[in-house]
Amino acid sequence: QQPVQSPQAVILREGEDAVINCSSSKALYSVHWYRQKHGEAPVFLMILLKGGEQKGHEKISASFNEKKQQSSLYLTASQLSYSGTYFCGTEGRGGSNYKLTFGKGTLLTVNP
Amino acid sequence: DTAVSQTPKYLVTQMGNDKSIKCEQNLGHDTMYWYKQDSKKFLKIMFSYNNKELIINETVPNRFSPKSPDKAHLNLHINSLELGDSAVYFCASSQDRVGNSYNEQFFGPGTRLTVL
């Protein structure tokens, strides 16, 4: 089942913060985050495997609440280069289903 | 060197034709994937191979046939192309299958297929 991302789109000014949420109706084993710039391929940001885990990559970090079956991506002090579509991908628990199901994406636009 | 490469980058063809897209990865990965991204940017898994074995086969018309001659290559052949097949097709690879540890996927540049 496809995870639900919110918001669908967000517009920021450079230096502002944003949060992108990803929720699932079923138990999750892991959450993956990717960013896709216009006309390019998706690029990996991070994977979260454990409940309550938080990971960071420069000014982009994420959390994973296993109980609530949701993950959030935090972008702080946004830069122009952060613009793009952010996708979360979820893998169902049990490991028997070896695929990622991606959300519909969140379009992030950072303006000067 | 390009990690995951696809050919061709653009493909324009008529309805009813048969076409192939090729993918190669030089990362030494065991798992490869085909994704379809439609005009609304929805990214959907089609197939996945692990060590040349098909492990994921989503609900895809049987006009689509993947082939993995070896771990480094995964090709996609499409018969009797239809208008609805128009999309961007991405190949990707990962060290291992999803669920077997931290396993980022590396995507190729995509093949934009337009069926007229």
pLDDT of A95 reads 46
Q: Cβ contact (<8 Å) for B105 and A32?
A: yes
How big is the A-B interface in CB pairs under 8 Å? 57
Neighbour count for residue B72 (Cβ, 10 Å) = 16
Query: How confident is the model over A74-83, as pLDDT tens digits?
Result: 999 999 999 9
Q: Tell me how close the Cα of A13 comes to any Cα of chain B, in angstroms.
A: 24
Distance CA B114, CA A10 (A): 30
pLDDT of A28 reads 80
Mean of the pLDDT values across residues A82-103? Answer: 81
> Which tokens belong to B76?
């996609």
> Which of A100, A102, A104, A106 has the most B C-beta neighbours within 10 Å, making it the best mutation to test the interface with B?
A100
State whether residue B43 sits within 8 Å of chain A by CB: yes
Query: How confident is the model over B66-103, as pLDDT tens digits?
Result: 999 999 999 999 999 999 999 999 999 998 876 666 68
Give buried/exposed letters for A7-16 (b at 16+ CB in 10 A, else e): eeebebeeee
Q: Tell me how close the Cα of B97 comes to any Cα of chain A, in angstroms.
A: 6
Query: How confident is the model over A45-90, as pLDDT tens digits?
Result: 988 886 666 666 678 999 988 888 899 999 999 999 999 999 999 8
pLDDT of A91 reads 82
Query: How confident is the model over B13-67, as pLDDT tens digits?
Result: 999 999 999 999 999 999 999 999 999 999 999 999 988 888 888 878 999 999 9
Helix H, strand E, coil C: the string for B38-71 is CCCCCEEEEEEEECCEEEEECCCCCCEEEEEEEC
Q: Cβ contact (<8 Å) for B44 and A102?
A: yes
Neighbour count for residue A32 (Cβ, 10 Å) = 26
Query: How confident is the model over A29-38, as pLDDT tens digits?
Result: 889 999 999 9
